[in-house]
Amino acid sequence: MAALLLTACTTSQPPAPSPAAKPAPPAREAEPDVPDGRDLDATSAPVKQTAEPEVRPARMGPPLTHEDAQAARQLIRAHGFAPQDVGFLVTDLPGRELAAHNARQAFIPASVAKLPTAVAALELLGGDHRFDTRMTATAQPRAGRLDGDLWLVGGGDPLLGADGLVHLCRDLHRAGVRQVIGDFYYDTTLYQERRAIRDDQPMTAGYNPGVSALSINFNRLPVRWGTGAPSDPEAWTLPSVPSVSLSLRRRSPQGQESGDWLPDGNGWQLSTGARGYGQDSLPLKHPAQVAAEATRQVCQRMGVKLPAPEPGTAPSEARALAEHPSPPLHEAVRSMLRYSNNLVAELIGLAAGRQLTGQPLGSSQSAIAVGQWYARTLPQTDWARFDPGNHSGLNAAGRVTPAELAAILRFAHDRRYGQAQRTLMELLPTVGLDGGLGRRLQTPDTAFAVFAKTGTMNFVSGLAGYLPTQTGRARMFAIFVNDKPLRRAYDANPRAAVWGRQAGDWRNRAKDLEAALVRLWTDPTRRREAVPTAMLQRSE
């Protein structure tokens, strides 16, 4: 999620945002569960169409009527929700409210909070902004030797991968370096480091890795294991790095083999069956060290010998010997919105916060800075309840109102970012050829009629974005569905067996309701259609 409070400073060392300026947050709620590190509706593969249906344009008529408001209330009841569980707002571009229900009530936004992060980053940094990862030194190579130290300086690249490491090592080789005689350091001082996005989330969860200015492969390390015989257990990471140790704990196989990663001192222990093979991703808690160790291995393959890496700050007089720029920011934003990657959102948000303050802030303070920027930029909107808590939405204590989300969407509607002139609507997941929004609204009459970001936690759901009209100007909408009593009960005992089925039923009904509301707003005649009978009863 994104966040609130702070003013931009023009001095070289501006003060950090004051937590005292932040509105008092509501009663704290425990963390969500996000099964695979991204929103449940984030697109993973194209949806296959089995026929060639007729495509009809979505109909957007005049401002919605009292009858439509009644229909929305009926939909809320029919899907088993209390009125206070739901909030929504639909506006046109001038800001006229076309449909509203609890529009200024604060809700847990989940991954919908990535929308404020995206817009703030694009506005503050520009769509063509690139994050540079550099190799710097104070000495110049002579006869293949660098008689001095080398620094790997993290630039906050959210998409850094193996290709970037190859780029750096090849440039280092082209600069004449074959061996570093001094020390090899990695510098992460651009941002405050964290061992996890949220300390109160499971440390083993892939969606909750460490956060660092030097991050690689979304801070997930591929892991493979094979236990072909009880006497021959084996597990390994790709690449194999000294700072990550693995051990196997065998258990009796039950059904399909799988791995359960558990922290074990400074390493990780894999719990798996006596026989079987598998793979997983290990969330890195010290990602910069792993990135530096991987860089050392890549450079070795490229003919450049580096010492073992250590943490250290590059001196101001150091000059770049190699540099790898990231893709433009608008590409990272599209990836973040489409796949709902928490780490990408946090790194993009931290860059926006640093742009505002000039300081290496943590996620919460950076989110405060971005939130106050919204308050200054859009003063006609009441931002008193805007408190997402971080940049990714991995925070069940965060709060946003439908009115605040709609204001951000109106602000961004006509903005174009970078030389590619990308609009926010282009960067959002789309119902249409690529599936978008999971399985919802996958019918011909809604194809290309909804461009939106989803959000999902147990007993929390959201959907916000644009509904195009035939006038060429979209309508903005934001929907939140929260059952806070159920959420509190879940938080009190998250391991209870009852939650799996109950949370799944609740999630299905919430997403069915969101789809039904969108259909109501895109084609008012659909309000007379029957609600899916399988989702009518409230789960107990």
What is the tens place of the pLDDT at every residue in 110-125? 999 999 999 999 999 9
Single-letter amino acid code for the residue at 184:
F
Query: Token pair of 237, please?
Result: 């990471």
CB–CB of 40/458 below 8 Å? no
Q: Is the pLDDT of residue 63 over 80?
A: no
Pairwise CA distance, residues 466 & 476, whole Å: 5
- pLDDT, residue 47, reads 35
Pairwise CA distance, residues 46 & 184, whole Å: 44
Q: For residue range 309-322, list pLDDT tens digits in order.
A: 999 999 999 999 99
CB–CB of 473/92 below 8 Å? yes
CB–CB of 222/188 below 8 Å? no
Of 178-187, 272-281, 386-395, the one with minimum mean pLDDT is 272-281
Q: Is the pLDDT of residue 535 over 80?
A: no
Higher pLDDT, 423 or 443: 423
What average pLDDT score do residues 425-436 get? 87
- pLDDT, residue 383, reads 96
Q: How many residues does the chain have?
A: 540
**Given the DSSP bridges, would you call strands 246-251 and 267-273 parallel, antiparallel or unpaired?**
parallel
Pairwise CA distance, residues 75 & 342, whole Å: 32
End-to-end CA distance of the chain: 30
CB contact set of 88 (below 8 Å; sequence gap of 6+):
72, 99, 100, 101, 102, 103, 402, 477, 478, 479, 480, 517
- pLDDT, residue 252, reads 63
Q: For residue range 464-481, list pLDDT tens digits in order.
A: 999 998 888 899 999 999
- pLDDT, residue 524, reads 56
- pLDDT, residue 494, reads 79
What average pLDDT score do residues 225-243 get? 78
Residue 285: how many other CB atoms lie within 10 Å: 21
Q: Is the pLDDT of residue 32 over 70?
A: no
Q: Is the pLDDT of residue 492 over 60?
A: yes
Pairwise CA distance, residues 36 & 23, whole Å: 32
> Per DSSP, what are the bridge partners of residue 279?
224
Q: Is the pLDDT of residue 27 over 60?
A: no
pTM score: 0.85
Mean pLDDT (the chain, rounded): 83
CB contact set of 10 (below 8 Å; sequence gap of 6+):
none
Pairwise CA distance, residues 279 & 483, whole Å: 36
Q: What b/e readout covers 489-504, taking b as 16+ CB neighbours within 10 angstroms?
A: bbbeeeeeeebeebbe
pLDDT band per the 50, 70, 90 thresholds, residue 266 = low
Q: Is the pLDDT of residue 420 over 70?
A: yes
Q: For residue range 509-527, list pLDDT tens digits in order.
A: 999 999 999 998 887 554 4
Q: What are the distances in angstroms from CA 528 to CA 56, 103, 450? A: 19, 24, 21
**Given the DSSP bridges, would you call strands 267-273 and 145-146 parallel, antiparallel or unpaired?**
unpaired
CB–CB of 480/511 below 8 Å? no
Alpha-carbon dihedral sign for residues 399, 404, 405, 408: negative
pLDDT band per the 50, 70, 90 thresholds, residue 34 = very low
Eight-state DSSP code of residue 83: G
- pLDDT, residue 40, reads 54
- pLDDT, residue 498, reads 75
Q: Is the pLDDT of residue 33 over 80?
A: no
Higher pLDDT, 443 or 101: 101
Q: Is the pLDDT of residue 68 over 80?
A: no
CB contact set of 259 (below 8 Å; sequence gap of 6+):
223, 225, 270, 271, 272, 278, 280
pLDDT band per the 50, 70, 90 thresholds, residue 499 = confident
Pairwise CA distance, residues 333 & 315, whole Å: 31
Host H or E run for residue 499? helix 499-522
Ordered DSSP codes for 224-246? EEE-SSTT--EEEESS--TT--E
- pLDDT, residue 493, reads 83
CB–CB of 399/407 below 8 Å? no
What average pLDDT score do residues 332-341 get? 95
Q: For residue range 340-389, list pLDDT tens digits in order.
A: 999 999 999 999 999 999 999 999 999 999 999 999 999 999 999 999 99
pLDDT band per the 50, 70, 90 thresholds, residue 278 = confident
Higher pLDDT, 154 or 29: 154
% pLDDT > 70, the chain: 80
